[in-house]
């Protein structure tokens, strides 16, 4: 008898609590509808448009637009730029986050501000900086010509611009994570006799791996999709210095809509894959039992 009463009381309390803390149905539903309308207008419809426009003239035209030499060269250049900037930013991001989160030093706040700089500066200006430094009339222009080196309107310039715009992502992802984890585990490793590298490999990196992977995926998405900074330094030479976003722009300006949307659909697809990976990583880092890794130097 007494249990039934207490169960009933519990049930009543539950109902009362949910009524006490929630809004009326019409408020909830109007908020949901507004959010859905907004998302459809600005996200779902454009995304669907990209794929329908790409396939408007049939699947063969779509494939043809992707395998023609200029498109292939643009895809290749985009992959090269990402393949170079990603590992460099990985090393830089981990090093910067490690320094900022685990050590006290002078000028720390200046370093944090510098890391945020690419977020604050317009990508076009980032591109212009490199033109001013390495361009024909730039500081190192004559020296580069004398040594037969090309930076602007060539691959090195595109890589530099890509690195510049993507370098905050990994560090920004890791700093709060590493600060929250503190440095006790590293100190424990130190007292147990581990060297700096052993601590990095066996203690620090395993603890941040999900955050690091997340940062890498964001960096990759941005590296492949960057337009402004790359546009300034590239020179738009077809088949030579065009990345995928630049190639889309050229095709579009030439009224070649089907081809433009075909290449754009690749970038959109990349974005969807990125989102899926991101959700998977978030789910993993929240739910998975942490995998063991034997320590063998």
What residues make contact with other proteins under the rule CB under 8 A? 184-185, 187-195, 198, 202-203, 206-207, 289-297
Nearer to other proteins, 74 or 281 (CB): 281
Token digits of residue 89? 């930013």
Nearer to other proteins, 19 or 106 (CB): 106
Q: Give me 107's structure tokens.
A: 């000028």
Distance CA 166, CA 180 (A): 24
Q: Which of 202, 169, 204, 213 is nearest to 184 (CA)?
A: 204
What is the smallest separation between the CB atom of 54 and other proteins, expressed in angstroms?
44
Using the minimum distance from each CB to other proteins, give the nearer residue, 124 or 295. Answer: 295
59 or 197: CB nearest other proteins: 197
In whole angstroms, give the CA distance from residue 233 to residue 151: 9
Residue whose CB is less far from other proteins, 120 or 286: 286
Rg (CA), the chain: 26
Nearer Cβ to other proteins, position 101 or 144? 101
Output phi, psi for 273, to 5 deg.
Answer: -60, -45
Nearer Cβ to other proteins, position 69 or 294? Answer: 294
Q: Which CB atom, from 57 or from 209, has the smaller least distance to other proteins?
A: 209
Q: How far is the CB of 178 from other proteins (least distance, A)?
A: 14
* Rounded CA separation 234/15 (Å): 63
Q: How many CB atoms lie within 10 A of CB 29?
A: 11
Q: How far is the CB of 182 from other proteins (least distance, A)?
A: 8
Task: Give CA–CA dist 260/245, Å, rounded.
Answer: 10
Q: DSSP strand E in the chain: where?
A: none
Question: Measured in whole angstroms, how far is the alpha carbon of residue 83 from the centre of its chain?
Answer: 14
Q: How far is the CB of 138 from other proteins (least distance, A)?
A: 45
Residue 49: Cβ within 10 Å count: 13
| Residue 127: alpha-carbon gap to chain centroid | 19
* Residue from 169, 84, 161 nearest 125 by CA: 161
Going by C-alpha positions, the residue among 158, 156, 157, 281 that lies closest to residue 218 is: 281
Nearest-approach distance from CB 95 to other proteins, in angstroms:
21
Question: Least distance in Å: CB of 176 to other proteins?
Answer: 17
* CA-to-CA dists, residue 98 to 156, 177, 228, angstroms: 28, 10, 30
CB of 107 to other proteins, least distance (A): 17
In the complex, the smallest distance separating the C-beta of residue 254 from other proteins, rounded to whole angstroms, is 53
């Amino acid at each position: 008898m007494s249990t039934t009463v207490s169960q009933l009381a519990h049930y009543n309390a539950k109902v009362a609590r949910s009524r006490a803390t929630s809004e009326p149905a019409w408020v909830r539903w109007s908020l949901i509808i507004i959010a859905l309308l907004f998302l459809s207008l600005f996200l779902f419809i454009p995304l669907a448009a990209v794929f329908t426009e790409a396939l408007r003239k049939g699947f063969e035209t779509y494939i043809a637009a992707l395998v023609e030499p200029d498109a292939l060269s643009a895809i290749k250049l985009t992959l090269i730029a990402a393949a170079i900037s990603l590992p460099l930013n990985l090393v830089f991001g981990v090093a910067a986050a490690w320094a900022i989160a685990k050590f006290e030093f002078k000028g720390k706040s200046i370093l944090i501000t510098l890391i945020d700089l690419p977020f604050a500066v317009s990508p076009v200006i980032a591109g212009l900086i490199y033109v001013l430094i390495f361009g024909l009339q730039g500081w190192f222009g004559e020296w580069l010509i004398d040594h037969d080196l090309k930076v602007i309107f060539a691959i090195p310039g595109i890589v530099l611009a890509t690195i510049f715009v993507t370098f905050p992502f990994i560090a920004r992802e890791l700093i709060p994570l590493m600060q929250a984890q503190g440095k006790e585990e590293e100190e424990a490793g130190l007292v147990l006799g581990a060297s700096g590298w052993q601590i990095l490999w066996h203690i620090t990196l395993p603890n941040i791996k999900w955050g690091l992977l997340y940062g890498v995926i964001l960096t990759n998405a941005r590296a492949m999709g960057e337009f402004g900074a790359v546009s300034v330094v590239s020179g738009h030479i077809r088949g030579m210095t065009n990345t995928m976003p630049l190639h889309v722009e050229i095709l579009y300006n030439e009224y070649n809509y089907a081809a433009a949307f075909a290449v754009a659909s690749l970038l959109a697809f990349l974005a969807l894959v990125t989102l899926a990976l991101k959700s998977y990583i978030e789910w993993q880092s929240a739910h998975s039992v942490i995998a063991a890794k034997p320590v063998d130097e």
